[in-house]
Amino acid sequence: MKVNIERKLILCACGCGAEIPYWSERLKCRRKFKHGHNRYGITGENHQNWKGGFWISHGGYKLVMDKQHIRADKDGYVKEHILNYEKYYKCCILKSTIIHHINGIKTDNRIENLRAMTASIHSSYHRKKELSDGKTLFGGINRWGQTITNTK
């Protein structure tokens, strides 16, 4: 005897309380969420993977949950060094402003290690530092495959 599993109803896993069919005939698999819902239905402290409201990004920066901040990403996280700088100097920095880590350690967000600068000044600072360290731009090879030498 074959059991008709598509008629069984379960609750949506996002926590909204909606009833959905257990089996999706179109997808030929078990369903967990109502159409348009997802695992992000439960966010913040109530989510099963909550780790205190911060994480380290792929770029190496510490991100902190602050959904109301103007520079928050789509998930509500802001780089901690931006929050520290704004809190200490009691200001709201522009999106075009870059907060530079003086010692180069992206998780060292002490105020004495942070300095605000424009994107162009920040870029030229790092370029001058690379040249003084003997590094070459783009790995030393231009777009035609020729070796680039530094001329100071």
Q: Give me the domains of the chain, ranges plus CATH numbers.
A: 5-39 (no CATH), 52-140 (3.90.75.20)
Q: What percent of the chain has pLDDT over 70?
A: 78
What's the confidence (pLDDT) of residue 8? 84
Mean pLDDT of 31-42: 70
Residue 57 and residue 43: Cα distance in Å, rounded? 18
Higher pLDDT, 34 or 39: 34
Q: Residue 58, by phi and psi: left (phi above 0), alpha (psi -120 to 50) or beta?
A: alpha
Residue 31 and residue 95: Cα distance in Å, rounded? 41
What's the confidence (pLDDT) of residue 55? 85
- DSSP letter assigned to residue 45: G
- Judged by DSSP in three states, 103 sits in coil
40 residue type, one letter: Y
Residue 48 and residue 10: Cα distance in Å, rounded? 20
- The answer, yes or no, to whether residue 10 has pLDDT greater than 70, is yes
